[in-house]
Amino acid sequence: MPESGWTYLSEEFIEDLERAISQGKTISSVLQEYGINRGTYYSWLAIGEGRMTRWRDGTPISEEMRTNCLRLARRVLRAREARLRTRRQTLR
């Protein structure tokens, strides 16, 4: 298991998250598997979406972290959109 929040934003984590979303599984199941707090995950999304520019202690978020969080946010959004398309097709 990764030791710091930074390593949690690995390609493997993002792929597992995408897979879970596309299969209709909960995000919480992936977060639990990686030992990631929900608050941390939602902070990462907020950073990626540009809604959060500083950590809670006031420290600016690095460009590298913003880039990684943006990558996460985009991939989560794409996975959600794909899941919705699949659900719509099954309803027809």
Q: List pLDDT tens digits, range 32-60.
A: 999 999 999 999 999 999 999 999 999 99
Question: For the chain, how big is the Rg over CA atoms in Å?
Answer: 14
Structural domain for 80, as ranges = 5-91
Tokens representing 9 are 């934003």
Split into its structural domains, the chain has a count of 1
pLDDT tens-digit map of 67-91: 999 999 999 999 999 888 888 888 8
Distance between start and end Cα atoms, the chain: 42
Tokens representing 71 are 């990558």
